[in-house]
Structure 1
Amino acid sequence: MTHQLAHHDPLAPAPVAETLRYLGGFRNALSRRWWVGLIALHCVLLACTILEANVLGYSVDALRGVAVPIVGTGERALMILVGVACAATFVGHCLRSLANYLIGIKLRRMSVDLKRDCLNSTLQAPIPDVMALGTGNVITRMTHDIDQPVTQFSQIGSRVMFMLLMFPFSIGAMTLIDYRFGVLALVIAVIFVPISKRWIGALPPVTNAMSAIEAERNATLLDTLRGLATFKAFRYGAWALDRMQTKSWAALQATATRVPYINRLLHLAQTISGVWVIAALGLGAWLTAHNHITAGAASAAVFLAVRAETQIFNTMFFLNDIQEGMTRLGRAVALAKLYTPTSQHTAPDLEKPADVTIRGLEFSYPDTTEPVLPALDLTLAAGTTTALVGASGAGKSTLAALMSGLLRPTAGTITVGDVDIAQVSDVWTARNVTLISQEVHIFSGALRDDLRMAAPTATDGELLDALAAVGLPENGTAFRRAFPLGLDTQVGAGAVPLMPEVQQQIALARVLLRNPHVLILDEATSEAGSDQAHTLEVAAQLVTRGRTALVVAHRLDQAVVADRIIVMDAGRIIEDGRHTDLVAAGGRYAQLFARWSGQDHTM
């Protein structure tokens, strides 16, 4: 239990008051007029319920031959009372159904507003903040953390409203029968309300821990599905299954941790209701025996206490649901408020390739002591291509991510032209610095729509020219095989999967259409098979030409044609120069090149 409560959530839920204020700003918010109408409807519903309880209670007097006000005595009075009780029950059921419908439809509309805000915030928030949350966390907050509270509140909303009105009305009705029933209710409230508040207040941390662990499980599931082919190819299926089982078991444990808190509330509800009914029954019997009230009046008071028993159980049960729902909505609201407009420096877009200057750049991942990049200094000359070479873990991809704004440096600056990217919005960085990584995303829809994500006004001819430039001419075999319907071919999710090299060619075509002045290729052609490697290399050289380009080289033939080669090790630059100079120097690059090419170039 301690482990679950201590679970770290990268984005804490918004407090209840803040959540309610945020939801109140929606176009479909719960207006004052809506609340007045809903309260009025429930007041009529409550009147029907109290009328039913009182009529059933006074029917005892009718059976005993005691005169009942208005209806009198005898069989006729009993039939009138039964008829009134049935009518009140029927009207109450109709009003309850209407209230459930009104609440449900209103909450559904509000959920659309909240999901829209969450999506907008995710798209506009700083990329490092979104990446810190993780895909599973974002998706959980945008879906489950909104849909579940909406479903819960739609089901219990009317009963919660009824419950809030039921207690004061019931206590008032019992007090009218005899003031001592009101004193009894007050004594019970003084004893049990503080206990209830303390136990209910323990629920939010447990609920948030459960939601955070569920988000981790969802992220693991998405990661497994995306990498399914890789897991199979490298026979990591057992490892992936074990990882999924571990996350699922953690989510199950988090849910189980919460169960004792709920059970404790239900036991408390049972205690409160039992004490109230027994006390009301005993008090009613004493008052009747001493001729303070009639048996029918005592029966009516007991009926009201019995009806309140259900509401007490509902109170505890619903408060648990409300706490869980508000915690989940708080997680969604926190995501919706992740992006806050700031007065960041606005800079004009680049009009030509610019120098990229890195000074004192440091970066450390959370929970690590050693920096991945310790005080790096580097300048990429405008219009040149620089290749990064080094073993896995040397810091190449980290540097690429920092330059593209996917990560925030721990210290130091990155300047593109005369613009410090830390001082401008992610929008500016995304417009002016383009990153293509090994993980290529294909947008769902027609191929034409996918390409126009980079250039919305591009004509079909321009789209086909870009594809041809990266090795997919319209009349070529590869194009016809991959895109049988041409630009109308459906691609992405739900369509026939494309070969990895075709996906990379689409990504490179987007670069030509986007025409950025600064380009980063992070192993963007490393997935190619040997028969397609040359085509992709030629395409990569084409898209880097005339731009300030940084290429994280997976194969050294990418480095050979670069204007400059930088060799990294443990986040530091250990060699810097052109291919021929580094080979002649006989250092680390020469050794790597010799092993890669099968020749000794160190001579």
Structure 2
Amino acid sequence: MTTSLSGDRRHHDALAPASVRDIGRCIRSLPSFPGAGWWLLTAAVFVLNLGSMTGSSTLLGRSVDLISGLAVPGFGSGRDGFTSLLVAVGILMFLELITRPAAAYLIFSATRRLTVDLRRRCLAATLEAPIPDVLELGTGNVMTRLTKDIDTAYRAVQSIGTRFIVTTLMFPFTFVALTLISPWYLLLLILLPAIFAVPVKRTLNGLPAATNALSTAQARRNNMLLDTIRGMPTIRAFGVRAWATERLERNSWDAVQREADRIPLFLRLIGTGYLAYGLLLASAIAMSTHLVTQDMLTTGEASAAVVLVVRLEMHVFNVLVFTGEIQNALTALGRAVSLALLSDNAVDAPVPGDCTGCPEVRIENVGFRYPGGAPIIDDLSLTLEPGTMTALVGASGAGKSTLAGLIAGLQRPATGTISIDGTDTSTVPDTWTARQVALISQEVHLFSGTLREDLRMATPDADDATLTAALSRVGLAPDSAGWQRWLPDGLDTRIGAGNDDLAPEIEQQISLARIVLIDPPVLIMDEATSEAGSDNARSLEQAALAVARGRTSLVVAHRLDQAVVADRIILMDRGAVVEDGSHQELLAADGRYANLHARWSGPRDGN
């Protein structure tokens, strides 16, 4: 398999398009891939179509012999022969007309089913793939592959698929017909491809890179657009609309430039096509004239050869233009297939049983950096004791969220190991890690539907009493103000996209209720209560603490009052542990944490 994640997302796509071989392997494995009967029927239709085209062209040329008074084998001579020949030409043209839409129907119907299966395979692979791989791709990139790239391939088949097959087969059928007229035409069919093979191949070799660069630029633009829309409240609050617009404009122009880079390649193909066809036609006329003057061909046979070459004109340009479009479609299809194969990167190893009780989380010599950047974490080692709550504090950029993401399996450490209950997480599928470790961040996603349906995502067989108990544990009891204000229909309240927005603290309480239902042995809260207003912060923090009890918990603290209740506090700076101990121990040490706590608590004491 050729799908691989690259290192530098600034200049390259994070996931290279699949090879033609992998594309074929993936398409053949789809449930709707046509069987032998479809292939035989389609081949028969195309052979009938191409045979009719070349046959009618040959007969039209041979009509010159009948006009000249000569006989044509199978038709005789004179008026009767000419009439019979015209009838045969009409029958062949009729067959050509009816077989073309029949072939198109066979191709389109099969392609439509394949695109549905491929989209389903891509979505399943995204859900099953290692989380770091999906995050590295980015939401916009995944969406581009799931939608635009598959649609690009389908539209190419829909618009030029049948014509491309006809064009491709037209050349061998024409060459056979010319050879049957006279073997001398083989010289043209050998010399011309030899002359133009190198420039055409050189141009075609540049198309895949140019096409993938365009798709990558478009995916980057989509990522930026999604990021801008999601960050709209922050953009407005900080008054940085000009910056957001300039950033999006820069990425949009990059996509436009990548499109412009492809244009010279297509112009070169068209120019080569004009030259190649001009030489072919001139050479065919010259050779036909020579063969007639040497009495090696009749005038009708020479005319048939020229008609066959003339009918190639459209196909010569089709094959050049279509080649570019097919290459574009293949690149787009390769991008989609590489997504469909992404789950192949998942660890294939025996899956241990789930942790029982509160496990130990051990981080040993872990290092991490983003591509092209300085180390975020360097040789970090620490252990989260079973059943304890550890708080991470420190300035923005200290590496707190990065460490939380590494433990949760959202990123892979560059060096070192992370083990849960003695199991190295790099040796097991991330689905196992996800069952052991639950991560709650300040970004909460509620699925569109009823509250009951959302909560049952965590425990499908839970009854209403269990769901209500989970909500009550996090402060959303049926008699609470939050329930009365935001959940008027109780578990039947519709939430998520397309419904009324809930308050941030209500959304977080729902996410905490999911944790109660899942009951993971390890819980990580990455500033999970930071979005709550001051009036609701205390109740939400108490709910979070209630959920954290009885688990091995890690809290990325946004405020120090989230840290003081922890069993252990770790102060991080530049990816390293600066201070480590309980709240009282760190205050007694009178170090950086003590100074930080003094500044935080001072205004509360009126000092």
TM category (shorter chain) comes to: over 0.9
Matched, 1:402 2:402: no
- Alignment partner, residue 365 of structure 2: 360
Moved more, 463-472 or 94-103: 463-472
Matched, 1:48 2:56: no
Q: Deviations over 1:393-436 (max 9, x none)?
A: 11111111111111111222222222222222211111011110
TM-score (norm 2): 0.93
- Alignment partner, residue 350 of structure 1: 355
Matched, 1:522 2:526: yes
Contact preservation (8 Å) 1:5, 1:205: no
Pairing of 1:469-548 with structure 2 (within 5 A): 469-548=473-552
| Aligned-pair CA distance for 1:342 | 4.1
Q: Quick one: distance in 1 between partners of 2:40 and 2:522?
A: 58
- SS at 2:343's partner residue? coil
Contact preservation (8 Å) 2:458, 2:514: yes
Q: Deviations over 1:446-470 (max 9, x none)?
A: 2211111111111112112222222
| Aligned-pair CA distance for 1:71 | 4.3
Q: Deviations over 1:193-240 (max 9, x none)?
A: 343233222221222222222211111122122222222222222211
Pairing of 1:143-292 with structure 2 (within 5 A): 143-292=147-296
- Alignment partner, residue 39 of structure 1: 43
- Alignment partner, residue 93 of structure 2: 89
- SS at 2:563's partner residue? helix
Tell me, which stretches of 5 or more residues in structure 1 are unaligned? Answer: none
Q: Quick one: distance in 1 between partners of 2:15 and 2:301?
A: 56
Contact preservation (8 Å) 1:594, 1:600: no
- Alignment partner, residue 375 of structure 1: 379
Q: Quick one: distance in 1 between partners of 2:504 and 2:107?
A: 49
Q: Quick one: distance in 1 between partners of 2:362 and 2:466?
A: 33
Pairing of 1:326-475 with structure 2 (within 5 A): 326-340=330-344, 342-368=347-373, 370-475=374-479
Tell me, which stretches of 5 or more residues in structure 2 are unaligned? Answer: 1-7
Rate the CA distance shift 1:342–1:292 in 2: closer, same or farther, 3 A: same
Rate the CA distance shift 1:438–1:6 in 2: closer, same or farther, 3 A: closer
Contact preservation (8 Å) 2:384, 2:390: yes
| Aligned-pair CA distance for 1:244 | 1.1
- SS at 2:186's partner residue? helix
**Which amino acid in 1 is paired with 2:265?**
Y
Q: Quick one: distance in 1 between partners of 2:530 and 2:251?
A: 31
- Alignment partner, residue 102 of structure 1: 106
- Alignment partner, residue 304 of structure 1: 308
**Which amino acid in 2 is paired with 1:188?**
L
Pairing of 1:54-73 with structure 2 (within 5 A): 54-64=58-68, 66-72=70-76
Q: Quick one: distance in 1 between partners of 2:228 and 2:10?
A: 26
Q: Quick one: distance in 1 between partners of 2:560 and 2:82?
A: 98
Matched, 1:316 2:323: no
Q: Quick one: distance in 1 between partners of 2:484 and 2:274?
A: 71
Selected match of 2:120 from 116, 120, 124: 116
Rate the CA distance shift 1:432–1:114 in 2: closer, same or farther, 3 A: same
**Which amino acid in 2 is paired with 1:365?**
Y
- Alignment partner, residue 3 of structure 2: none
| Aligned-pair CA distance for 1:63 | 4.5
Contact preservation (8 Å) 1:522, 1:552: yes
Contact preservation (8 Å) 1:100, 1:155: no
Rate the CA distance shift 1:65–1:486 in 2: closer, same or farther, 3 A: farther
- Alignment partner, residue 130 of structure 2: 126
Q: Deviations over 1:307-326 (max 9, x none)?
A: 11211111112222222222
Q: Deviations over 1:20-63 (max 9, x none)?
A: 12322222224443322212111100121112212322334445
Rate the CA distance shift 1:498–1:76 in 2: closer, same or farther, 3 A: farther
| Aligned-pair CA distance for 1:346 | 2.6
Rate the CA distance shift 1:83–1:136 in 2: closer, same or farther, 3 A: same
Q: Identity across aligned pairs (percent)? A: 48
**Which amino acid in 2 is paired with 1:553?**
A
TM-score (norm 1): 0.93
Matched, 1:24 2:28: yes
**Which amino acid in 2 is paired with 1:180?**
W
Contact preservation (8 Å) 1:5, 1:209: no
Q: Quick one: distance in 1 between partners of 2:504 and 2:258?
A: 39
- SS at 1:339's partner residue? helix
- SS at 2:379's partner residue? strand
Q: Quick one: distance in 1 between partners of 2:340 and 2:141?
A: 13
Q: Quick one: distance in 2 between partners of 1:120 and 1:10?
A: 19
Moved more, 465-474 or 455-464: 465-474
| Aligned-pair CA distance for 1:508 | 0.8
| Aligned-pair CA distance for 1:522 | 0.2
Q: Quick one: distance in 2 between partners of 1:169 and 1:481?
A: 76
Matched, 1:562 2:566: yes
| Aligned-pair CA distance for 1:498 | 2.3
Q: Quick one: distance in 2 between partners of 1:528 and 1:27?
A: 48
**Which amino acid in 1 is paired with 2:507?**
Q
- SS at 1:536's partner residue? helix
- Alignment partner, residue 4 of structure 2: none
Q: Quick one: distance in 2 between partners of 1:40 and 1:195?
A: 34
Rate the CA distance shift 1:7–1:296 in 2: closer, same or farther, 3 A: farther
Rate the CA distance shift 1:415–1:169 in 2: closer, same or farther, 3 A: closer
Q: Quick one: distance in 1 between partners of 2:240 and 2:228?
A: 11
**Which amino acid in 2 is paired with 1:563?**
D
Contact preservation (8 Å) 1:287, 1:293: yes
Rate the CA distance shift 1:381–1:175 in 2: closer, same or farther, 3 A: closer
- SS at 2:342's partner residue? coil
- SS at 2:528's partner residue? coil
Contact preservation (8 Å) 2:449, 2:496: yes
| Aligned-pair CA distance for 1:119 | 1.9
| Aligned-pair CA distance for 1:87 | 3.6
- SS at 1:332's partner residue? helix
| Aligned-pair CA distance for 1:65 | 5.0
Moved more, 56-65 or 182-191: 56-65
Q: Quick one: distance in 1 between partners of 2:507 and 2:104?
A: 49
- Alignment partner, residue 5 of structure 2: none
Contact preservation (8 Å) 2:347, 2:427: no
Contact preservation (8 Å) 1:172, 1:182: no
- SS at 2:54's partner residue? helix
Q: Quick one: distance in 2 between partners of 1:240 and 1:586?
A: 43
- SS at 2:426's partner residue? coil
**Which amino acid in 2 is paired with 1:59?**
S
Contact preservation (8 Å) 1:16, 1:327: no
| Aligned-pair CA distance for 1:148 | 0.9
Moved more, 517-526 or 328-337: 328-337
Q: Deviations over 1:159-218 (max 9, x none)?
A: 232223221221221222233223222222222234323322222122222222221111
Q: Quick one: distance in 1 between partners of 2:363 and 2:172?
A: 68
